[in-house]
Amino acid sequence: MKTRIKELRARYSLTQAELARRVGVRRETIVFLEKGEYNPSLKLAVKICRELNTPVEELFLFEDNELDK
């Protein structure tokens, strides 16, 4: 999974720490998410989307073969 969190976060001049604080997780969690190293809960994903004013499908990008099985 790829994500545009880092890009959007920069656009709003938010630090990882500040974004983490706003959505109620640890900064390390944001680091892992930005690296695409894990698959957040839907609730966390939606919270981040709201902070970054971006729809879920635009912030989190799945390759096609990642979704079918």
Partner DNA sequence: ACTAAATGTTATATATTTATAACATATAGT
Partner DNA sequence: ACTATATGTTATAAATATATAACATTTAGT
> Integer distance in angstroms from the first to the last C-alpha of the chain?
15
Residue 46, interface with a second copy (CB under 8 A)? yes
Structural contact between residues 37 and 26, judged by C-beta atoms closer than 8 angstroms: no
Separation of CA 5 from chain center? 5
What is the smallest separation between the CB atom of 17 and a second copy, expressed in angstroms? 16
Residue 40, interface with a second copy (CB under 8 A)? yes
What is the smallest separation between the CB atom of 44 and DNA, expressed in angstroms? 4
Structural contact between residues 33 and 5, judged by C-beta atoms closer than 8 angstroms: yes
Binding residues (CB under 8 A) for a second copy: these are 1, 24, 39-43, 45-47, 50, 55-57, 60, 62, 66-67, 69
